[in-house]
Each structure stands twice: as structure tokens, then as C-alpha cells.
Amino acid sequence: MATKSELAEIWARKEGISHEKALKLITSLMETMKEMLIEGDEIMIRGFFSARVNIAKARTEKNFLGTGRDIDVPQKHVLKLRVSGKFQKEVREHAI
């Protein structure tokens, strides 16, 4: 697993920039993507992934672990991420 800082270090070496600059760019990208999703925009980076926020409708379910009575589950926002098939295939074929 790579942390954000480790990812920035790898990117900095590849691009010939400072670790601080790479970390700032990664942080800015992450913040921008988060803001877009919060505002209801979908993000699609072809060949990599797509992300959007869906609304899970309110529903009634059984409380199987407790009394068995019906419980109301309120509507909520759910983040949906989908990795592209091409990207998945490349990772599967080259994963160690």
C-alpha cells in the first residue's frame, strides 16, 4: 500500500519535481474531485475510473439482529466508483 506522501515521492522522481510540489498537486486534485462530487458532478477519466454520487432511496427493512420488527432506513447519498475494464485487465495481467 502506498500513502499519499509515498505516491507523491514516486511521482516527484518520475517527473523531476520536488516532493512538496507533487504532494501539493495530488492534494489539489483530490480536493477538486471531492468538491465536484459534492456538487453532483460525475468524474470520468477514460481508461481509469468513473465516480459519482447516487441517492439510495429510503426503505423499510427487518431488524433481523434484534426484535425482527421493521425499521425505517432513511435516504442517503452513496459514492459509486467504477474502475474501467481496460485498467482492471492491465492490472490483472501485470500484478505481482
CA-based radius of gyration for the chain: 20
CATH of 42-96, one of 4.10.520.10, 3.20.20.70, 2.120.10.30, 1.10.3720.10: 4.10.520.10
Q: How confident is the model at residue 66 (pLDDT cuts 50, 70, 90)?
A: confident
pLDDT at 68: 80
- The pLDDT tens digits for 33-51 are 999 999 999 999 999 999 9
CB of 27 closer than 8 Å to CB of 11: no
pLDDT at 62: 85
pLDDT at 54: 97
Tell me how many degrees the CA angle 23-27-28 measures, rounded to the nearest 5: 115
Contacts 24+ apart (CB under 8 A), 41-46: 46/84
pLDDT at 73: 92
Question: Does residue 86 register a pLDDT over 90?
Answer: yes
What is the three-class DSSP state of 2? coil
Q: How is residue 54 annotated by DSSP?
A: E
Q: Quick one: average pLDDT of 5-32? A: 98
Average pLDDT value for the chain = 95
| Residue 55: burial class (beta carbons within 10 Å; 0-12, 13-18, 19+) | exposed
